[in-house]
Amino acid sequence: MKPKVVVVMPAYNAAKTLRMTYAELPRDVVDLVIVVDDGSSDETARIARELGLELFVHNRNYGYGANQKTCYREALRAGADIVVMVHPDYQYDPTLLPQVIAPILQGEADVVLGSRLLGGHPMQQGMPWWKYISNRFLTGLENLVFGLSLAEYHTGYRAYTRPVLEAAQTEMNSDNFIFDQEIMAQFVEIKARIAEVPVPTRYFPQASSASFLQSTVYGLSILFLLGRYLLHKWGIRRQRQFQSLSRRYSSAAVAPSRHA
C-alpha cells in the first residue's frame, strides 16, 4: 500500500521539452501525470495526448497561478495523496522526484521545496546574476516575515500532501506568478511543516525564464504580499485569504491516506 503520487505539469508553450520531461519521470513512483495547457500556441496539447497524459486545456492564457489552480483541483479530484509540481520545460530534473517526496513519505514534512540554492551555486548552473541577487534578497525578507530559514521560496519544483492543499484556499490566490508565494504564506499561517531538498537546475534557450521586467513586477508583488501578511498577522487588517486556515488544517490528518 502506497500513497497515490500525482505529478502536475503547468504547461505553456512547452512542446519542445514536454517529451524529455515526461520521459525522465520515475514510472515506479508516479501514478498519474496531469498536464494543464494554459492556452499554448504551439503543439503542447497534441504532444500531451500522444504521450497518453491526462490533459486539461484552458481556452486562453489565464496565467501561471490559474494554471496551478486547475492542476491542484484536478489532482485532488483524481485521488492524489501527494501532488508534485514538475515544470515541463525540463529546467528541473524529473529523476529527482523520489528525493523530493521522501520527507513526506517519512512523515517529516507536509510541503517540500526543491531548492536551487542548496548543494551548489545556481550561477554556475546558468542563473543570471540579477536573478540570483533578487532571489537572495526576497528570500531573506520572506524568512524574516514568515519566521523561517529556507534557502529559497522561488522554486517550481514542489511537493504537497493532500491535507495541506485542501487546507490552503488556493482559489483565492492570484492567477499570476505571485501565486507561489501566496500559497507559501497560507502554509506558514496553518503551520505546515516545510522541508527543502537540493535540486540543481538547467538553464538553456528552451527552458522558460521570466524577463527582467517580469521579475521586477514579481518582486514588487512579493513586497506587497509580505505587507498584507504582516497586517493580517498583527491583527491590523485581517485578510480573508489567510483566515480560518489553522482551524481547517488542524482537523485534517497530516499523513497521506493509504490506498489498498
Q: Does some domain include residue 257? A: no
Question: Which CATH number is 34's domain given?
Answer: 3.90.550.10
What is the rounded distance in angstroms from the CA atom of residue 161 to the CA atom of residue 139? 23
Q: Does some domain include residue 137? A: yes
- pTM score: 0.89
How many residues are there in the chain? Answer: 260
Q: Does some domain include residue 186? A: yes
What is the rounded distance in angstroms from the CA atom of residue 243 to the CA atom of residue 45? 37
For residue 106, the model assigns a pLDDT of 97
β-pair type (32-37, 54-57): parallel
Q: Does some domain include residue 256? A: no
Q: Does some domain include residue 114? A: yes
CA distances from 120 to 127, 128, 198 (A): 12, 15, 8
Report pLDDT digits (tens) over 156-183.
999 999 999 999 989 999 999 999 999 9
Report pLDDT digits (tens) over 103-141.
999 999 999 999 988 866 666 666 776 777 888 899 999
Using a pLDDT cut of 70, give the percent of the chain over it: 85
The C-alpha cell at 97 is 522526484
Mean pLDDT for 187-198 is 95
Q: Does some domain include residue 172? A: yes
Q: Does some domain include residue 260? A: no
What is the rounded distance in angstroms from the CA atom of residue 57 to the CA atom of residue 80? 20
Number of domains in the chain: 1
Give the structural domain span for 195. 5-250
Q: Does some domain include residue 72? A: yes
For residue 124, the model assigns a pLDDT of 63
Which has more confidence, 234 or 256? 234
Report pLDDT digits (tens) over 3-45.
999 999 999 999 999 999 999 999 999 999 999 999 999 999 9
Query: How would you write the chain as a 3-class SS string?
Result: CCCCEEEEEEECCCCCCHHHHHHCCCCCCCCEEEEEECCCCCCHHHHHHHCCCEEEECCCCCCHHHHHHHHHHHHHHCCCCEEEECCCCCCECHHHHHHHHHHHHCCCCCEEEEECCCCCCHHHHCCCHHHHHHHHHHHHHHHHHHCCCCCCCCCCCEEEEHHHHHHCCHHHCCCCCCHHHHHHHHHHHCCCCEEEEECCECCCCCCCCCCHHHHHHHHHHHHHHHHHHHHHHCCCCCCCCCCCHHHHHHCCCCCCCCCC
Report pLDDT digits (tens) over 60-115.
999 999 999 999 999 999 999 999 999 999 999 999 999 999 999 999 999 999 99
